[in-house]
Amino acid sequence: MKPQPLTVHRGIAAPLLTRNIDTDTIIPSREIRRVSKRGLGDGLFAGWRYREAGSREPDPEFVLNLEEYRDASILLAGANFGCGSSREHAVWALRDFGIRVVLAPSFGSIFHNNCTLNGILAVVVEDASLRRLAEWVEADPRRNQLEIDLRNRVIAWRSADTLEFDIDPARRRLLLQGLDSIAVTLKHAAAIDEFEAVDRNARPWVYRLPDLPPT
Amino acid sequence: MPQSLFDKLWSIHEIADLGQRQSLIHVDRIFLHERTGSIALKSLEQAGRTIRSPESVFCTVDHIVDTRPGRGDSTPVPHGAEFIAATRESARRAGIRFFDVNDPEQGIGHVIAAELGIVLPGTSVVCPDSHTCTLGSLGALAWGIGSTEAEHALATGTLRVARPRSMRVFFGGAVPAGVTPKDLVIHLISRFGSRAASGYAVEFAGPAVDGMPVEGRATLCNMAVEMGAFTGMVAPDATTLRYMRGREYAPAGALWAQAVEHWSALRSDSEAGFDRQLDIDCAVVRPTVTWGTHPEQAIPIGGRVPDPASFEDPHRVRAAVRALEYMELAPGTPTDAVRIDAAFIGSCTNSRLSDLRLAAGFLRGRQVAPWVRALCVPGSSAVKRAAEAEGLDEVFRLAGFEWREAGCSLCFHAGGESFGGQRVISSTNRNFQGRQGPGARTHLGSPLTVAASACRGYLCAAEPAA
């Protein structure tokens, strides 16, 4: 499936600056009920968002339940956001909820890749800058929206203030163009065939596998 | 130019340099399971794509399969049976090896991939599961990916990978009696933090690793991801060869000899450089247990739960405050005053035969405390049979443990069985909030610590043999 391209995104940013927010927290395993990438937004942060496991009664103190953050499309997160389990459901849940950008000092590496492949921009922003953004946003979340410009690699905030960011060029290209990475790689099919032909001679034991047992 | 083990593994599998630090990497083996592999197979089918090399793809049921005796497709996990049935159907249509619920070779993917010899030294293996790094213990390049990347690997036999930096973790000094690989790795993570290896491929080395069996190395590599690593690995040596030889999928005869020659070069050259090196003096490590909600929050058993104010980093202070609130622990509490409700031995971290022997060795002739619910879940059906052949199942049962079928079981709560609201000593890898059930408070430790704590009913280490 081709991800939706992302060039410039403007929206409400919700602060969730705890360190080591893991993918079990982003979507508890119990909320994964179908072999599907859809319909997971309801389970996003379920352990924090609802009063009790399995219930849908909102915990009024959780940031995404506050009136002013309900339509947030940007998360300001703590270091190592998305660590832990590789479950891509965490990213599908964020996307389904409407999150398009996450800013954090660092990310779990599998989560970071999963974001990119699903059209969510995960930007590394150093801690002090993130705190400044969070303070400004918190003063008036609906008015103080952030604008993330991936083309020019800048975050626009407070009147004329901007914050530049770095992003891996390969990630940036995938996101800007909304590329299907399988299709991109299949352009290298000849190189893959050639590699395997040579490798089969060099490491024949890797390619000699027993037949499937009869079923 | 001298090369590290990682440099060598990378160059063996590099098809093309894509620029910008990215390479197209050949994937020799793909492992899938019913939780995240099912969606990769389904999505691939829906896109009208096929698997490039079905003979190199393997799929197991481990994550939500029932581990209670007499199991079938139905599981306490709501809709669990649908995941299993969908995976089975997709695997059949795709023509890949599927380790079904009652297949004698079924088990946790990371356990059976090693014990069947599916993953060999010097091979590259991916699985949509973060603990795939476990297989680096064989000298393989093994890393966890998402389902979309799994789809990419299935369709193309490759992945586009940003080259990680290299790190060596050197375990020097003598390992004290009663200290296991699990204690060493939890100690490592707590000492250097949850991000210490982020962006790195980590080689574990040093005399403690050289003297460690493959199964102990698996425990070390398994938890590399808990410090953010791309993967963990150990150079293959004589111990590795002894482990591999004769395994079902391992090469035999002339091919074995050829493979061994190739593998003998898979070690870091003596002058190889690393981007970062961490050193651990094993002599100072004690049996270790976590007190918080990330493996980095750990202390030696016999110590006290730290005061959050004792951390320098304000983020760590806040994380500690939150963790203690969730764990219902006060700063300064001695570990031996922490009363537990449940004990769990299992998971891709510690469910192999050597883990079960270690725990059973302690449990023989002892009893689990009356208020503790204790479970032992072998990592594979083969481990279970081997343990039963030695009578270990009887030792566990007599001590008061439930003896289960193979799978991930209560390492995590998927909506079915749960340690909800309970305090658990667990041989698993993650003590995240709610990981083992809503409100479950998990303390990570070695299988030996789990056994000892289960009997005392409070956190404790097994007294080392004098």
Bridge partner list, B168: B203, B277
Q: Which tens digits make up the pLDDT trace of B36-74?
A: 999 999 999 999 999 999 999 999 999 999 999 999 999
Confidence tier at A206 by pLDDT (50, 70, 90): very high
Confidence tier at A1 by pLDDT (50, 70, 90): low
Query: What's chain A's average pLDDT?
Result: 95
A212 touches chain B (CB under 8 A): yes
Smallest CA–CA distance from B56 into chain A, residue = A209
Q: Which of A104-108, A167-171, B425-429 has the lowest mean pLDDT?
A: A167-171
B194 touches chain A (CB under 8 A): yes
Domain boundaries, chain A: 8-178
Cα separation, B295 vs B429, in Å, equals 7
B267 touches chain A (CB under 8 A): no
8 Å CB contact of B251 and A205: yes
Nearest Cα of chain A lies from the Cα of B445 at a distance, in angstroms, of 18
Contacts of B393 (CB under 8 A, 6+ apart): B384, B387, B403
A55 touches chain B (CB under 8 A): no
Residue A159 has pLDDT above 90, yes or no: no
pLDDT of B466: 43
Domains in chain B: ranges and CATH: 5-164+249-260 (3.30.499.10), 165-236+268-284 (3.40.1060.10), 289-456 (3.30.499.10)
pLDDT of A109: 96
Average pLDDT over residues A141-158: 97
Residue A11 has pLDDT above 90, yes or no: yes
Q: Which CATH class is domain A8-178?
A: alpha beta
A25 touches chain B (CB under 8 A): yes
Confidence tier at A2 by pLDDT (50, 70, 90): confident
Cα separation, B77 vs B88, in Å, equals 17
8 Å CB contact of B15 and A191: yes
A206 touches chain B (CB under 8 A): yes
DSSP state of B437: S
8 Å CB contact of B146 and A24: no
Residues of chain B with pLDDT under 70: 464-466
DSSP H stretches of helix in B364-437: 381-389, 392-399
Torsion of CA B418, B421, B424, B426, to 10 degrees: 40
Question: A49, A107, A110: which to substitute to probe chain B, counting the most B Cβ within 10 Å?
Answer: A110
Residue A45 has pLDDT above 90, yes or no: yes
> ipTM, 2 decimals?
0.96
The answer to whether B124 and B26 have CB atoms below 8 angstroms apart is: yes
- pLDDT > 90 in chain A, percent: 90
B248 touches chain A (CB under 8 A): yes
Nearest Cα of chain A lies from the Cα of B383 at a distance, in angstroms, of 21
Phi, psi of A6 (to 5 degrees): -135, 120
Contacts of A35 in chain B (CB under 8 A): 38-39, 42, 82-83, 86-87
**Coil, helix or strand for B125?**
strand
8 Å CB contact of A212 and B97: yes
B242 touches chain A (CB under 8 A): no
pLDDT of B464: 60
Residue A210 has pLDDT above 90, yes or no: no
Cα of A17 vs its chain's centroid, Å: 16
Of A31, A86, A185, the CB nearest to B158: A185
Phi, psi of A77 (to 5 degrees): -120, 165
Of A20, A127, A185, the CB nearest to B160: A185
**Coil, helix or strand for B216?**
helix
Reported in sequence order, the residue ranges of B360-434 that DSSP labels E, i.e. its strands, are: 373-376, 401-403, 423-426
Total-model pTM: 0.97
Question: A85, A107, A180, A196: which to substitute to probe chain B, counting the most B Cβ within 10 Å?
Answer: A85
A51 touches chain B (CB under 8 A): no
Confidence tier at A215 by pLDDT (50, 70, 90): low
Contacts of A37 in chain B (CB under 8 A): 39, 43
Contacts of A90 (CB under 8 A, 6+ apart): A23, A26, A27, A82, A111, A114
Q: Which tens digits make up the pLDDT trace of B366-389?
A: 999 999 999 999 999 999 999 999
Contacts of A36 in chain B (CB under 8 A): 39
Pairing type for strands B288-290 and B298-300 reads antiparallel
